[in-house]
Amino acid sequence: MRYRAAPHPEPSGILYDPGHGEPATAELLSVTSITKRFGGVEALAGCTLSVGEGSITGLIGPNGAGKTTLFNVISGLVAADGGQIRLGADRLDGLSSHAIARRGVGRTFQIPRPSDG
């Protein structure tokens, strides 16, 4: 599975903003060749993603595509089996979730509940 915001085969530090047709700001978050296995199931296989500073980026895919697993790996809730995660120049992979949260990267959980209305 390979998600990519940049049109280049390797992260270049410059992202393409399809809404404006001009380069966006430098990479803020870079995920490179992330793999994650759960037993015999490979949930992430060489996943690569770049997010530019100040950009709005969406991640879409069918159920079971690995979206939640990717967010769990980025936020440190589960460890990657391979690859790198960078926030600017700092490596995040291998850090605990609270150490990653202290650097400003976190996630929320969807908690379905009936409305009060």
State the total domains in the chain. Answer: 1
Residue 116 lies in a domain: no
Contact between 43 and 20 under an 8 Å Cβ cutoff? The reply is no
Say what the pLDDT of residue 84 is.
97
Q: Which is nearest to 32 in space by CA: 50, 59, 55, 9?
A: 50
Complete DSSP assignment for 82-115: EEEEEETTEE-TTS-HHHHHHTT-----------
CATH number of domain containing 92: 3.40.50.300
pLDDT digits 0-9 by tens, 35-44: 999 999 999 9
Instruction: Kindly report the average pLDDT of the chain as a whole number.
Output: 82
Domain span at 24 = 14-102
Average confidence (pLDDT) over 14-19:
48
Residue reference for tokens 């380069």: 23
pTM: 0.74
Say what the pLDDT of residue 111 is.
81
